C-alpha cells in the first residue's frame, strides 16, 4: 500500500520530462521537444531531484551528464513509457501537430541523398518539425550521438560503439569519374593506368584510411593522392580538363552520367560494397517522434535515379 500511495502522489508527467532530459541532456532542447518553457523544464528537474533524492543530471564541462542513479533508472523508465504509449495507441503522436527540433549529423553527400526528399515530406506532413544539420568526421558524429548532441547520424560506420543502433538505408558501390578527353577513347582504366594517374581523395582529415585504399593495399598496391577534399560536392567539377580520377560512391556520380565531358566507369579492382546507415542511441528507441523520423528517412533516402 505504501508504494501505491507514493505513486498516487507522483505527477507522472515528471517522468516524461525526465525521459526527455536523459535523452536530450539539454534543458532548452527538452523544452522544445516537449513544447514547454525552459523555466518549466528546470522546475520539473528540481522536483525530480527531490523525488529521487538525487541530482540526476550534473553539469560538467558545459554539458549535463547523467548521474549513476539516472543511468540506473534510464532503461526501466524508457521501457515503462514505451509500454504506456503502446497502451494509449498511436493517438499519442501526431506528426502534423508535433513541434520539435531534430539534430542530424551527415556529410554533404548524406545531405544530397537524404535532405531533398525528407524536407519535402516534412513540409507536407510535419511542418512543425525543424532540422539542424551538422557535419563532422565519422568518429565525431558517433560521439555526438553518444553524448546526446545529435538525434541521428548518417554515413558509413564499420564499428559501432555499444548503446548505438543502426538501420540500413542503402548498399553503396564505388565507381570512378574521369575527364572523357583524357581517356583517349577508352571506356575504363586497367589497374596500371589507374595507378599511374593522380587521384582525388575525399576525407575529413589527411591520411584517412578509406575503403578504396584498404582494397588497394589488399592487392599490394597504392595510389597517388594529388588532392584531398573534406567534402564531395565540388569534387566532380574538378575532374573536367584534368587527368585526375575520382573514386566515390556510385550514387554521388548519377548527376554526371550524362555529362559528355566526363565518363563514369567501374574500378579496375574489387572494392567491397558498404552499407549506408542511420545511427541513433538506444535510449531514443522508444520515442515515437524519433521512430517516426527514422521511418520517414528510410522512406525518402536514395530515391530512384539518384
In 3D, which of 25, 18, 11, 8 has the Cα closest to residue 61?
A: 25
Residues 252 and 211 in one domain: yes
Cell 536514395 appears where?
A: 302
Domain residue limits at 241: 174-272
Residues 243 and 264 in one domain: yes
Residues 53 and 193 in one domain: no
Residues 148 and 291 in one domain: yes
Output the domain CATH number for residue 179.
3.40.190.10
Residues 178 and 262 in one domain: yes
Q: Which of 7-21, 36-50, 57-71, 184-198 ranks highest by mean pLDDT?
A: 184-198
Q: Is residue 94 part of a domain?
A: no
> What are the Cα distances from residue 101, in Å, to 9, 35, 149, 190?
32, 11, 12, 49
Range with the lowest mean pLDDT among 171-185, 189-203, 229-243? 229-243
Q: Is residue 93 part of a domain?
A: no
What phi-psi label fits residue 148: left (phi over 0), alpha (psi between -120 and 50 degrees) or beta? left
Residues 152 and 187 in one domain: no
In contact, 157 and 233? CB cutoff 8 Å: no
Output the domain CATH number for residue 19.
1.10.10.10
| pLDDT tens digits, one per residue of 132-177 | 999 888 889 999 998 888 999 999 898 898 889 999 999 999 999 9
Percent of the chain with pLDDT over 70: 90
| pLDDT tens digits, one per residue of 102-135 | 999 998 888 888 999 999 999 999 999 999 999 8
| pLDDT tens digits, one per residue of 210-263 | 889 999 999 999 999 999 988 777 888 899 999 999 999 888 888 898 999 999
Q: Is residue 277 part of a domain?
A: no
Q: Is residue 10 part of a domain?
A: yes
pLDDT at 48 over 70: yes
Residues 75 and 107 in one domain: no
Sheet architecture: strand order including 224-229: 224-229, 198-202, 245-249, 174-179, 262-265
Residues 13 and 60 in one domain: yes
Q: Is residue 165 part of a domain?
A: no
User: What pLDDT score does 131 carry?
Assistant: 94
pLDDT band at 85 (very low <50, low <70, confident <90, very high): low
Q: Do the strands 224-229 and 198-202 form a parallel or antiparallel pair, or are they unpaired?
A: parallel
pLDDT band at 303 (very low <50, low <70, confident <90, very high): low
User: What pLDDT score does 1 carry?
Assistant: 37
User: What pLDDT score does 20 carry?
Assistant: 85
Query: What is the pLDDT averaged over residues 261-270?
Result: 96
Confidence (pTM): 0.69
Local structure of residue 235 (DSSP, 8 states): G
Residues 249 and 197 in one domain: yes
In contact, 36 and 27? CB cutoff 8 Å: no
Residues 123 and 207 in one domain: no
Q: What's the domain count of the chain?
A: 3
User: What pLDDT score does 3 carry?
Assistant: 42
Residues 179 and 265 in one domain: yes
Q: Which of 26-40, 54-68, 163-177, 230-244 ranks highest by mean pLDDT?
A: 163-177
106 by DSSP, 3-state: which? coil
Residues 152 and 181 in one domain: no
Amino acid at each position: 500500500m505504501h508504494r501505491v500511495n507514493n505513486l498516487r502522489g507522483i505527477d507522472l508527467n515528471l517522468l516524461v520530462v525526465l525521459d526527455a532530459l536523459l535523452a536530450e541532456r539539454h534543458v532548452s532542447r527538452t523544452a522544445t521537444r516537449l513544447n514547454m518553457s525552459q523555466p518549466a523544464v528546470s522546475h520539473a528537474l528540481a522536483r525530480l531531484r527531490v523525488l529521487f533524492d538525487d541530482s540526476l543530471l550534473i553539469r560538467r564541462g558545459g554539458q549535463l551528464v547523467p548521474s549513476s542513479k539516472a543511468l540506473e533508472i534510464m532503461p526501466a523508465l524508457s521501457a515503462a513509457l514505451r509500454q504506456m504509449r503502446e497502451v494509449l495507441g498511436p493517438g499519442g503522436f501526431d506528426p502534423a501537430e508535433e513541434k520539435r527540433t531534430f539534430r542530424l549529423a551527415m556529410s554533404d553527400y548524406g545531405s544530397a541523398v537524404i535532405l531533398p526528399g525528407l524536407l519535402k515530406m516534412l513540409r507536407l506532413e510535419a511542418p512543425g518539425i525543424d532540422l539542424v544539420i551538422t557535419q563532422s568526421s565519422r568518429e565525431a558524429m558517433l560521439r555526438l550521438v553518444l553524448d546526446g548532441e545529435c538525434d541521428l547520424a548518417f554515413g558509413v560506420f564499420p564499428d559501432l560503439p555499444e548503446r548505438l543502433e543502426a538501420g540500413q538505408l542503402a548498399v553503396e558501390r564505388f565507381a570512378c569519374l574521369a575527364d572523357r578527353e583524357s581517356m583517349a577513347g577508352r571506356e575504363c582504366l586497367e589497374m596500371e593506368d589507374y595507378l599511374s594517374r593522380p587521384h582525388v581523395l575525399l576525407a575529413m582529415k589527411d591520411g584517412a584510411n578509406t575503403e578504396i585504399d584498404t582494397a588497394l593495399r589488399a592487392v599490394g598496391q597504392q595510389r597517388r593522392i594529388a588532392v584531398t577534399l573534406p567534402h564531395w560536392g565540388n569534387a566532380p567539377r574538378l575532374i573536367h580538363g584534368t587527368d585526375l580520377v575520382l573514386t566515390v560512391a556510385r550514387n554521388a556520380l548519377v548527376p554526371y552520367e550524362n555529362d559528355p565531358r566526363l565518363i563514369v566507369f567501374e574500378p579496375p579492382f574489387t572494392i567491397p560494397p558498404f552499407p549506408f546507415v542511420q545511427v541513433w542511441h538506444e535510449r531514443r528507441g522508444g520515442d515515437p517522434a524519433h521512430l517516426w523520423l527514422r521511418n520517414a528517412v528510410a522512406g525518402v533516402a536514395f530515391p530512384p535515379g539518384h
